[in-house]
Amino acid sequence: MTKGNGPAYSTVLDKMNPEKRAFEIDGIPVGQGQPLLLIAGPCVIESYEMTLKIAKYLQGVTRKLGLALIFKASFDKANRTSIESFRGPGIGRGLEILMQVKRELDIRVLSDVHTPAQIEAAAEVLDVIQIPAFLCRQTDLVLAAARTQKPLNIKKGQFLAPWDMANVVQKAASTGNARILITERGAMFGYNNLVVDFRSIPIMQKTGFPVIFDATHSIQLPGGAGTQSGGQREFAPPLARAAVAAGADGVFMEVHPDPDHALCDGPNSLRLEAVGDLLSQLIAVKNVLSNHQQ
């Protein structure tokens, strides 16, 4: 991508500091020159028992492989396709479950917020606050989340060019918050389909913040099943490998013991037992890249 190949491609990016790409999230290093970060968990909190089961499994796998884990589960999915879709337990019970899992396993947790009113309660529990892709341009939401000084994971909207995220992270960084992750999750490609432009990883890294690749939402088919989104989970592993090869600082994935019966995002969720092998592959790709850069 060269100057002039996109609307205002370099006007904001050129003013940002690409050397800023490393920080810690409660002792977990992330960014340039750091080990691969994994953000993973179920799409939504279905129950305390299911959430704990998934978190325990992921913790065991990542400890064995020497990977850092941030556990992800949403207390509310406010952007479901249908009014009849399962949204989750809500903020009260959802945060209670995340706190129980966090204390029992001593892990870091992440969840989405959808309104500024949710942020104060969420910040008391979450180690990372996530801004959903559809809401990444909501200035009041981004600023309110950033003002907590908690690490943020801002998902790139499916409707944005990668260089547009420079404006989004500038909003967050204007509060003095310097711990910001940007997550690539694909771009709309016609109706009910997404495509990944891997140029987005190095482009968004020009903001100076680490870039995470969402391997499972990138193969989602939004609204593709009529009253719910479809997905093509078989394509998540090759896209994850490609993203790490392109220099992604971490990988995001939704996982479930039985995706075909998951209450949310089952078609694009990975089977829990498949995670270990995929992570081993991603580590191998990361090591090749690191050795080449030395």
What are the domain boundaries of the chain?
A: 34-293
By residue count, the chain amounts to 294
91/70 Cα distance (integer angstroms): 19
- pLDDT band, very low/low/confident/very high, at 1 (cuts 50, 70, 90): very low
256/271 Cα distance (integer angstroms): 5
Q: What is the pLDDT of residue 219?
A: 85
* Predicted confidence (pLDDT) per residue in 24-75, tens digit: 999 999 998 899 999 999 999 999 999 999 999 999 999 999 999 999 999 9
Query: What is the greatest pairwise CA distance in the chain?
Result: 53
Question: What pTM does this model have?
Answer: 0.92
Report the candidate in 185, 156, 291, 163 with the shortest Cα–Cα distance to residue 243. 185
Alpha-carbon separation of residue 59 from 64, 85, 109, 240 (angstroms)? 9, 29, 12, 20
Q: What is the pLDDT of residue 166?
A: 96
Among the residues of the chain, which ranges form H helices? Answer: 48-65, 91-105, 119-123, 139-147, 165-173, 200-205, 236-245, 275-293
Q: Which residue has the tokens 């909003």?
A: 171
Task: Tell me the two tokens of residue 180.
Answer: 């910001």
Q: What is the CATH number of domain 34-293?
A: 3.20.20.70
57/208 Cα distance (integer angstroms): 33
Task: Tell me the two tokens of residue 133.
Answer: 């892709």
Q: Which residue has the tokens 């870039």?
A: 211
Report the candidate in 222, 250, 226 with the shortest Cα–Cα distance to residue 72. 250
* Predicted confidence (pLDDT) per residue in 50-63, tens digit: 999 999 999 999 99
Three-state secondary structure call for residue 109: strand
